[in-house]
């Protein structure tokens, strides 16, 4: 598997502390019995206020890693279109039809995520969990 993206610049641009705090309050109101996140720093940082609000520990699971964007990693959508000829709205088709160069294919992503999600469901049947 190619390198996963944990771009701190992108994280700072999209992870507003007020929005994260509001999310933590809303999730805490659901009373989750467990909190799961990918091992990426930004997902664990997003999960931390939820963990604090619920008094639960965040369980990091590599099966929850996002799609590996391979050669596209670090580029904005307009740059991907310019450099690779792929429009932002076509990326799912690319993923399904052979994958992103040096990144995930849809099958690889499903093979990683599906067993993880199934294990979470099996371990927490009929209970509420949070997955970040």
Alpha-carbon distance of 104 to 66, in angstroms, equals: 10
- Across the range 93-118, mean pLDDT stands at 93
The Cα–Cα gap between 79 and 52 comes to 38
Report residue 9's pLDDT band, with 50, 70 and 90 as the boundaries: very low
pLDDT at site 20: 83
> How close are the terminal C-alpha atoms of the chain, in Å?
21
Residue 57: pLDDT above 50? yes
Tell me if the pTM is above 0.85.
no
Q: Would you call 6 exposed, middle or buried from its count of C-beta atoms within 10 A (0-12, 13-18, 19+)?
A: middle
| Per-residue pLDDT at 19 | 86
Q: Name 35's bridge partners.
A: 58, 130
Calpha distance 10→106 (Å, rounded):
23
């Amino acid at each position: 598997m190619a390198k996963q993206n944990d771009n701190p610049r992108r994280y700072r641009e999209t992870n507003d502390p007020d929005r994260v705090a509001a999310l933590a309050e809303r999730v805490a109101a659901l009373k989750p019995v467990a909190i799961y996140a990918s091992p990426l720093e930004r997902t664990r940082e997003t999960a931390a206020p939820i963990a604090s609000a619920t008094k639960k520990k965040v369980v990091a699971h590599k099966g929850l890693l996002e799609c590996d964007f391979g050669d596209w990693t670090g580029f904005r959508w307009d740059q991907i279109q310019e450099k690779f000829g792929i429009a932002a709205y076509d990326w799912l088709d690319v993923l399904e039809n052979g994958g992103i160069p040096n990144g995930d294919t849809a099958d690889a992503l499903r093979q990683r995520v599906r067993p993880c999600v199934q294990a979470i469901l099996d371990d927490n049947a009929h209970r509420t969990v949070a997955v970040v």
